[in-house]
Amino acid sequence: MTKIQCTPDNKQKLMAIQDSMDVLSGKWKISIISSICYYNERRFSDILNDVAGISNKMLSKELKELEMNKIVNRTVMDTQPITVQYELTDHGKTLQTIINNLSEWGQSHRNEIFGK
C-alpha cells in the first residue's frame, strides 16, 4: 500500500484547516452558500425556503457570520417593502472547489457506508 504523503509542515496546515472549518462548519453554512451560488443572487425569504428546516433566527445569524467573513454580500434593494439580496463575494466564489470536492466525497462516502 502506498504510504500517505504527510509533509512536516502539517501542523501549520492544521491551523489553516481549522480556520476553514470555523467558517464552514456551522450547521447550515454550506447549504446557505450553495443556495446563493445556485441562484447567483437570492433574497432572505427565498433562502429560508431553499434550506429545509432552517429558522429565520438561524438564517439571520448565519448570514451575518458569512458577511463578516466576506463570503457573501448583502444589498438592501429600494423596493416597497424592502427586499435584501445576497450574493457570493469573489472570495466566496473561491469555495467552489471545496464544495465540489465535498460533494464528490459525500457520494463516495455514502457508497462506502451503505454499500453501492
Partner DNA sequence: CAGTATCCAAAGGGATACTG
Partner DNA sequence: CAGTATCCCTTTGGATACTG
> Rounded distance, CA 111 to CA 3, Å?
24
Interface map 34-63 toward a second copy (x if CB under 8 A):
xx-xxxx-----------------------
Q: Per-residue x/- marks for DNA, 42-81, CB under 7 A?
A: -xxxx------xxxxxx-x--xx---------x------x
State the first-to-last Cα distance of the chain, in angstroms, to the nearest integer: 23
18 contacts DNA (rule: CB under 7 A): no
Question: What is the closest distance, in whole angstroms, from the C-beta atom of residue 65 to a second copy in the complex?
Answer: 12
The packing angle between helices 10-24 and 29-39, to 10°, is 70
Which three cell numbers mark 101?
Answer: 470536492
- Which among 25-33, 54-62, 73-81 is the span making contact with a second copy, rule CB under 8 A? 25-33
Which of 59, 63, 72, 88 touches a second copy by CB under 8 A? Answer: 88
Residue 66: CB atoms within 10 A of its CB come to 25
* Separation of alpha carbons 65 and 46, rounded Å: 18
Q: Which residues bind DNA (CB under 7 A)?
A: 26-27, 43-46, 53-58, 60, 63-64, 74, 81-84
